[in-house]
């Protein structure tokens, strides 16, 4: 296989490198990551106000059936917090993004006072929509009071519709005008975030793993809808379906695709360890 040109990227952008000029994403470059995110424990992605004591995970009718719907911002937010902590960025928080640090330069931000400047997020995560069918399975649960012996303290019953462990989501991420550092930061943030967990009560649940299957040096025209539909039609796993897209890629040449789980994993490890070093 021809060595992909994925590492012939600029090392790192400075704030002055990202100008206000209108750019063409195709000319400035895009890296597309495609993988599968799998929940290792149950998760609850509450997106709507429930009725009474019921909390229900979000669902969407998509590619022929109802599926669990994990809105991208729920992943994005965890990654941003992870990066701010891991890099120990001074004077930058999710409430007051500094618009100068490398996290803001990658993930964007808006300053609402003063000169009202906005940095476009170059990290584009797609919503995660499950390969598995949504199942309405209401769990009846009880929250115990902190001190059950206290007078008048009672258990609180509630219901949840969770996403079961083992649920898989095709995970498509694009980084626009990428530098090597951007890739590394995203991969590190995603890895740590997977361990911390997503969604409601992530202290106890919502942890995930990401298996990266393809890294594409270009704008890969790949669609979650098509992947899910094809996987169901062919009776194949979502992982096999994603891998098969590399055989006849749209928008990029085959030698722009880094594939093979071991090869991809080595590249990911190398990039992540570069940040940690």
**101 is an interface residue for another protein by CB under 8 A:** no
Q: Are 36 and 231 in contact (CB under 8 A)?
A: no
For another protein, what does the binding mask look like between residues 19 and 48, x meaning CB under 8 A?
Answer: xxxxxxxx-------------------xxx
* Per CB under 8 A, 115 contacts another protein: yes
What is the contact mask toward another protein in residues 127 to 156, using x (rule: CB under 8 A)?
x-x---------------------------
Of 46 and 274, which CB lies nearer to another protein in the complex structure?
46
Q: CA-CA distance, 264 to 25, in Å (whole number)?
A: 24
134 vs 272, which CB is nearer to another protein?
Answer: 134
62: enclosing H helix or E strand:
strand 59-62
* Contacting residue, 75, 222, 242, 264, with another protein by CB under 8 A: 222
Q: Sheet of 54-56: strands edge to edge?
A: 54-56, 156-161, 138-143
Crossing angle of the two packed helices 180-196 and 261-276, in degrees rounded to 10? 100
Closest distance of CB 175 from another protein, Å: 12
Pick 222 or 271: Cβ nearer another protein:
222
Q: Which helix (H) or strand (E) holds 64?
A: none
DSSP string covering 128-156? EEEEEEP---EEEEEEPPS-TTSTT---E
Q: How many CA atoms lie within 13 A of 50 on its CB side?
A: 16
Does residue 221 touch another protein according to CB under 8 A? yes
Q: Is 66 in the site for another protein (CB under 8 A)?
A: no
139 vs 221 by CB, closer to another protein: 221
Residue 10 pairs with which residues in a beta bridge?
none
Beta-strand relationship, 54-56 and 109-110: unpaired
Q: At what angle do helices 180-196 and 72-86 cross, to 10 degrees?
A: 100
- Which residues in the 170-189 window bind another protein by CB under 8 A? 172, 174, 176-177
Question: Binding to another protein by residue 3, rule CB under 8 A?
Answer: no
Q: Provide the binding-site residues for another protein, judged by CB under 8 A.
A: 18-26, 46-49, 58, 60-63, 69, 71-73, 77, 93-96, 110, 112, 115-122, 124, 126-127, 129, 172, 174, 176-177, 219-226, 250-251
């Amino acid at each position: 296989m021809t060595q992909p040109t994925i590492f012939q990227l600029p090392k790192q952008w400075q704030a002055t490198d990202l100008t206000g000029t209108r750019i063409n994403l195709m000319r400035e470059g895009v890296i597309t990551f495609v993988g599968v995110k799998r929940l290792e424990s149950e998760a609850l992605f509450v997106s709507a106000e429930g009725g009474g004591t019921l909390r229900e995970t979000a669902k969407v009718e998509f590619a022929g059936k109802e599926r669990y719907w994990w809105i991208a911002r729920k992943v994005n937010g965890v990654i941003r917090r992870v990066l701010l902590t891991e890099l120990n960025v001074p004077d930058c928080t999710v409430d007051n993004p500094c618009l100068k640090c490398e996290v803001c330069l990658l993930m964007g931000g808006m300053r609402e006072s003063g000169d009202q400047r906005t940095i476009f997020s170059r990290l584009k995560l797609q919503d995660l929509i499950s390969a598995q069918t949504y199942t309405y399975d209401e769990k009846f649960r009880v929250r115990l009071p902190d001190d059950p012996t206290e007078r008048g303290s009672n258990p609180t019953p509630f219901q949840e519709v969770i996403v079961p462990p083992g649920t898989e989501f095709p995970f498509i991420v694009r980084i626009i005008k990428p530098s090597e550092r951007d890739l590394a930061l995203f991969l590190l943030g995603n890895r740590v975030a997977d361990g911390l967990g997503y969604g409601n009560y992530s202290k106890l649940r919502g942890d995930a793993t990401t298996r990266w299957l393809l890294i594409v040096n270009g704008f890969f025209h790949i669609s979650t809808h098509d992947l899910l539909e094809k996987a169901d039609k062919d009776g194949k796993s979502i992982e096999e379906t994603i891998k098969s897209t590399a055989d006849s890629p749209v928008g990029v040449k085959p030698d722009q695709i880094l594939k093979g789980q071991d090869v991809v994993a080595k590249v990911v490890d190398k990039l992540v360890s570069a940040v940690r070093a």
